[in-house]
Amino acid sequence: MTGSAYPQPGQPAFEVASVRPSQREVGPDYNNQIAYTSTEFNGRNVTLRRLIAEAWRCQINQVLGPPWLDHNEYDVAARVPDGMGGQIPLMLRSFLLNRFHLKEHEDTRQMRIYALTAAPGGPKIQPVEQGSVAADGTGFHFHGTMRQFADLLAVQFSIPAPDNPSVPVTAGGSLIPVLDRTGLQGTYDFRVDMRPEPGTDSFTSWKRTLAEQLGLQIDSRKDAVAVVIVDDAAKVPTEN
């Protein structure tokens, strides 16, 4: 079923929101920067595909549609009504339906995925209480849910093997969905010690790190994956 181009009455919505095409497009290595709190949502140089993925709580490769969804970049700023920080994805859906006249429908596709699960010995991490202090130490720091960690891993796995550990590399490969199958609920805060090795790709390094430091494992498989299919959308959003 094709989605409505406008939010339904009573559907959560931002208190106020602005969107405009980015003045300068930065390309796939630097775009899709999203940050939000309980009171505001901000996106800089975000593509419509990225916004849809955030609204439907899925990954970029689970959003299917025309190529321009990856290229046109927008700047978004929105204010969240008091006490509604947990409904930002639903508010973002309303925003996309209203301002981009988005029409979509949901389906499933057989796709190659990476499944993130707990290792046979169990996870070595525990959820943290709200307001707790961030994990001490050095290394890669993560704070969020396991779904957000799976999203992060999808980007990390697209980073090619470094030729020189002292020279940073950026994501550039195909993004394969990483699905959270851990069953772990709550918010996590931890650090991992990642040490890039010449000739070792990011997936191999992370697979070892996940098992040794976090008690998690990652496996490649074919699976039925929920997708959002874009039937129509405006390249130029409705004015503020």
Each residue's pLDDT tens digit, 222-240: 999 999 999 999 999 997 7
Flag the least confident range among 63-67, 94-98, 129-133, 141-145. 129-133
Q: What is the mean pLDDT of residues 82-100?
A: 94
Grade residue 146 by pLDDT with cuts at 50, 70 and 90: very high
* Higher-pLDDT residue of 213, 134: 213
- The residue among 1, 92, 114 whose CA lies nearest residue 46 is 92
- Angle between helices 146-156 and 202-209 in degrees, nearest 10: 150
Q: What is the pLDDT of residue 171?
A: 45
Are 41 and 80 contacting, i.e. CB atoms less than 8 angstroms apart? yes
Q: What is the mean pLDDT of residues 112-116?
A: 94
Share of the chain above pLDDT 90, in %: 60
Grade residue 178 by pLDDT with cuts at 50, 70 and 90: very high
Q: What is the mean pLDDT of residues 71-75?
A: 95
Q: Is the pLDDT of residue 43 over 60?
A: yes
What single-letter DSSP state applies at residue 52? Answer: H
Grade residue 5 by pLDDT with cuts at 50, 70 and 90: very low
Q: Where are the beta strands (DSSP E) in the chain?
A: 16-21, 33-36, 40-47, 63-64, 73-79, 103-118, 140-144, 178-180, 188-192, 216-232
Alpha carbon 236 to its chain centroid, in Å, reads: 23
Long-range contact set of residues 38-41: C-beta below 8 Å, sequence gap at least 24: 38/80, 38/85, 39/79, 39/80, 39/82, 39/85, 40/77, 40/78, 40/79, 40/80, 41/14, 41/17, 41/76, 41/77, 41/78, 41/80, 41/88, 41/91, 41/92
- CA dist 158 and 19 (Å) reads 29
